[in-house]
């Protein structure tokens, strides 16, 4: 049983899904939304900030364990001639270092992307 193959269309042949959906909305309605993030009056905002700090600390401890354990695994494997183990140790060290960089820069990354999206 052969199924018919639909013909291919260029992107200019049909309007995109977003233009079809947004075509129903008045143009003035889309420009009226404004968001300004604030924790003023938000119940539990102090606790949430403290919780984020705890999560970041636990993540950094995990990164430290990965770097120290991976370094030991790398060194011992290299010493014993186990190249596969040495490779795994290198990956643990690299993963811990990248994880620490992401943990340290998470707030900067989020704030930068939010600021770029606002402009």
Segment 54-64, tens digit of pLDDT: 999 999 999 99
Name the residue with higher pLDDT: 3 or 40: 40
Give the number of other Cβ atoms within 10 Å of residue 75's Cβ: 12
**pTM summary value:** 0.65
List the chain domain ranges. Answer: 49-119
- Contact between 83 and 103 under an 8 Å Cβ cutoff? The reply is no
Does pLDDT of 102 surpass 60?
yes
Give the number of other Cβ atoms within 10 Å of residue 92's Cβ: 20
Nearest residue to 49 via CA among 104, 98, 107, 103: 107
Q: What is the mean pLDDT of residues 22-27?
A: 60
Does pLDDT of 5 surpass 70?
no
């Amino acid at each position: 049983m052969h199924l018919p193959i639909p013909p291919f269309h260029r992107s200019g042949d049909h309007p995109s899904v977003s233009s079809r959906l947004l075509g129903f909305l008045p143009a003035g309605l889309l420009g009226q939304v404004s968001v300004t993030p604030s924790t003023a009056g938000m119940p539990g905002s102090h606790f949430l900030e403290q919780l984020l700090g705890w999560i970041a600390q636990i993540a950094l401890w995990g990164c430290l364990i990965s770097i120290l354990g991976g370094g030991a695994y790398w060194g011992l494997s290299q010493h014993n001639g186990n190249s596969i183990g040495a490779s795994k140790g290198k990956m643990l060290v690299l993963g811990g270092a990248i994880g620490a960089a992401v943990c340290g820069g998470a707030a900067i990354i989020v704030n930068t992307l939010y600021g770029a999206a606002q402009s």
